[in-house]
Amino acid sequence: MIETNVSRHHQTFLQVIQSYYQLTKPRIIPLLLITTAGSMWIAAKGEVDPLLLLVTLTGGTLAAASAQTINCIYDRDIDYDMDRTRHRPMPSGKVQPRDALIFAIALAVMSFTLLAVFANLLAASLAFSGIVFYILVYTHWLKRHSTQNIVIGGAAGAIPALVGWAAVTGTLSWAAWLIFAIVFLWTPPHFWALALMIKDDYAKVGIPMLPVIEGTTVTVKQIWYYTLITVAATLLLVYPLHASGVVYAAVAVSLGILFIHKSWRLLRNPEDRTVARDLFLYSISYMMLLCLGMVVDSLPITHHLISAAINLIA
């Protein structure tokens, strides 16, 4: 295991704060929150209580930060061996495992308390189960042992959508599970496109990511199937669930066509890393804009504008 090779005495207070911030893998959290927000807006039929929104997004941030911090502690050995992750606070010795664990527990406790007190127990429990699932099922059990690690483990990343719905309604519905399924199905194209680019890194440390074990051809085929199913799933929100309307439908179809196009290009050019990179970057914009589409579609003003347009035409 890796121990400190950077003396903490040499770090300024600001550098210490920065190290703890980096432990939470902060660049991923905004998209997790956007899926939470999309779910909240549909659940609240366009009228979300701003205080509840603030509480839920803060609780979600704390939970995701806790999960990522524990992941950083657990994976510090392999993170040290990979070029991409060597600079992280744990392998570079900027934070000690014990301190990071205390930080992660504090984040988890704050998340649970905030959500339980100001949202509800279901939202709090779901966020907590996200932490447990990500650590036990993904990080501990699957990441180092199965090519399906990110498929099954990806469920953790889809939990924030359930948290959002639960925070608004205190329960879960078909639409909530569908948004969960959309994020779940989107994760393999999102991650495997990236894994195609960095598979040598994962191979070096013996992580059985699909491109490492099964090769590029199998991976791009899997990406292709998951892309098709993801796009199909996004449309179920319009029909048969009727949870979203025409604005969302237009957004989902347009974004979906582009997603399929980019995934098809990768299927045709499996060895081209630029194409894989393009799909990975697009996957992020795709999820962001899709959720934005959910929000805009649910707003009362959107409904008024559509009614006005229909009246004008009729």
Ligand X SMILES: CC(C)=CCC/C(C)=C/CC/C(C)=C/COP(=O)(O)OP(=O)(O)O
Site string for ligand HEM, 74-113 (x = CB under 6 A): ----------x-----------------------------
Nearer to ligand X, 38 or 247 (CB): 38
DSSP 9: G
Map tokens 């099954």 to a residue. Answer: 152
**237 binding ligand HEM? (CB under 6 A):** no
Q: Using CB under 6 A, pick the residue from 59, 60, 130, 154 that binds ligand HEM.
A: 154
**287 binding ligand HEM? (CB under 6 A):** yes
The CB-of-189 to ligand X minimum distance in angstroms stands at 14
Interaction partner, residue 31 (ligand X, ligand HEM, none; CB < 5-8 Å by kind): ligand HEM
Q: Report the alpha-carbon distance of residue 241 to residue 49 in Å, rounded.
A: 24
Q: Is 265 helix (H, G, I), strand (E, B) or coil?
A: helix
Show the tokens assigned to 58.
Answer: 């803060």
Q: How many residues bind ligand HEM (CB under 6 A)?
A: 18
Sign for the CA dihedral angle at 164, 165, 167, 172 comes to: negative
Interaction partner, residue 287 (ligand HEM, ligand X, none; CB < 5-8 Å by kind): ligand HEM
Residues of this chain that interact with ligand X (CB under 6 A) are: 28, 63-64, 67-68, 71, 75, 85, 127, 130-131, 134, 143, 156-157, 159-160, 163
Q: Which residues contact 18 (CB under 8 A, 6 or more apart)?
A: none
Window contacting ligand HEM (CB under 6 A); options: 148-156, 166-174, 242-250, 303-311: 148-156
Contact 168, 243 (CB under 8 A): no
Window contacting ligand HEM (CB under 6 A); options: 111-119, 150-158, 170-178, 200-208: 150-158
CA proximity to 195, closest of 168, 174, 215: 215
The CB-of-242 to ligand X minimum distance in angstroms stands at 27
Q: Using CB under 6 A, pick the residue from 60, 153, 270, 293 that binds ligand HEM.
A: 153
Window contacting ligand HEM (CB under 6 A); options: 37-45, 56-64, 103-111, 186-194: 186-194
Q: Report the alpha-carbon distance of residue 183 to residue 194 in Å, rounded.
A: 16
Residue 197, CB-side half-sphere exposure with 13 Å CA sphere: 16
DSSP secondary structure string, 189-217?
Answer: HHHHHHHHHSHHHHHHTT---HHHHT-HH
Contact 153, 137 (CB under 8 A): yes
**150 binding ligand HEM? (CB under 6 A):** yes
CA proximity to 36, closest of 55, 12, 21: 55
Q: Report the alpha-carbon distance of residue 171 to residue 126 in Å, rounded.
A: 11
Interaction partner, residue 127 (ligand X, ligand HEM, none; CB < 5-8 Å by kind): ligand X
Interaction partner, residue 35 (ligand X, ligand HEM, none; CB < 5-8 Å by kind): ligand HEM
Q: Which residues contact 232 (CB under 8 A, 6 or more apart)?
A: none
Nearer to ligand HEM, 170 or 206 (CB): 206
- Which residues contact ligand HEM (rule: CB under 6 A)? 27-28, 31-32, 35, 84, 138, 150, 153-154, 157, 183, 187, 190-191, 194, 284, 287
